Amino acid sequence: MSRQEQAQRMRTAKGFIAALDQSGGSTPKALGLYGIGPEAYADEAEMFRLIHEMRARIATAPAFDGSKVIGAILFERTMDDTIGGKPSARFLWEERGVVPFLKVDQGLQDANDGVKLMKPIAGLDALLKRANDAGIFGTKMRSVIDAASRPGIAANVTQQFDIAGQILDRGLMPIIEPEVTISIADKAAAEDILREEILRHLDALPAGRQVILKLTLPSTDNHYKPLIDHPKVMRVVALSGGYSRDQANALLARNTGMIASFSRALTEGLSVRQDDATFNRTIATTIQSICEASNAG
């Protein structure tokens, strides 16, 4: 497995990153949208088995390959499991040409100063070693911005870049995701502060280091172009953030150089009750639409 080849794909390939990393808190909702209610599982182990079956069904669909899906973000249990008879990360890269990432955050702290910082990531070094051993290329970690609070956003971005430094030290590529909540009244002002804070930290990164940024689709088209063009940024990707897939695609297409990293918008319209032919047609149409929006700029 060539990390240089994976890095080159992430820098230049057309397509998008699939987010298949629903965790304990978001899994019941994801399963519910897929047609599996809480009555279908008795405990957490059964719940995670069912969500893994959904993820494996997506990853083995004929349309899910490196021609349109250039990367995929996995939950830790997915990394530890298999798809198509192989460890998940190896299956994605060796069989599909899809670069594997791992979600490493462990949820959010309570809201403070307009943001929700990440909880301390227990056992991060050990997890990063396991990720390297499994063939993971990079990581992803999410925090949240709920208000245009300069001190809160500064603390949020600082936390992200501090942990990103630890991840880079272990030879993995961090995806930094300070999500701006789409429903807040001062979203555009929050995005102005966020861009300033990210630029400040990018300028301070040591030579030869890069990160990937995962950001909410902005209120102003091409607001994040200075980040996309920054030499310390490998790629800027967009989260769907509660927009429908059609809304997210339309917004994404107006932002030159930004590509998708959708989760709920990727699985929209999929159902456990669909036969394989219907499921595969549905995911193929979805992948094509997200790819077109990602390549529009």
For residue 282, give both structure tokens: 């549905």
Integer Cα distance of 198 and 287 in angstroms: 30
Integer Cα distance of 191 and 202 in angstroms: 16
**Position 237 pLDDT exceeds 80:** yes
**Position 212 pLDDT exceeds 80:** yes
**Position 1 pLDDT exceeds 60:** no
Residue 243's SS3 state is: coil
Give the mean pLDDT of the chain. Answer: 96
**Catalytic pick from 103, 140, 214, 232?**
214
Range of the domain at 200: 3-295
Integer Cα distance of 243 and 277 in angstroms: 27
- Which phi and psi (to 5°) does residue 284 adopt? -65, -40
Count the neighbouring beta carbons within 10 Å of the beta carbon of residue 68. 21
Instruction: Work out the pLDDT band at 24, boundaries 50, 70, 90.
Output: low
- Structural Rg of the chain based on CA atoms: 18
Cβ atoms of 251 and 274 within 8 Å: the answer is: no
pTM for the model: 0.95
Catalytic residue status for 177: yes
Any idea what the CATH number is for the domain that residue 160 is in? 3.20.20.70
Q: How many domains does the chain have?
A: 1
Instruction: Work out the pLDDT band at 264, boundaries 50, 70, 90.
Output: confident
**Catalytic pick from 103, 177, 187, 197?**
177
pLDDT, tens digit (0-9, with 9 covering 90-100), for 124-170: 999 999 999 999 999 999 999 999 999 999 999 999 999 999 999 99
For residue 83, give both structure tokens: 């798809």
Integer Cα distance of 113 and 138 in angstroms: 30
pLDDT, tens digit (0-9, with 9 covering 90-100), for 31-87: 999 999 999 999 999 999 999 999 999 999 999 999 999 999 999 999 999 999 999
Residues in the chain: 297
For residue 156, give both structure tokens: 């949020």
Catalytic residue status for 232: no
Integer Cα distance of 285 and 277 in angstroms: 12
Mean pLDDT score, 16-21: 95
- Provide CB contacts within 8 A for 228, sequence distance 6+: 236, 256, 257, 258
| Region for residue 222 given its phi and psi (left: phi exceeds 0; alpha: psi -120 to 50; beta: otherwise) | left
**Position 297 pLDDT exceeds 90:** no
The single-letter DSSP state of residue 38 is G
Integer Cα distance of 158 and 168 in angstroms: 15
- pLDDT score of 79: 96
Instruction: Work out the pLDDT band at 23, boundaries 50, 70, 90.
Output: confident
* Strand positions, DSSP E, 67-199: 69-74, 82-83, 86-87, 99-103, 115-116, 138-145, 173-180
Percent of the chain with pLDDT over 70: 99
**Position 225 pLDDT exceeds 60:** yes
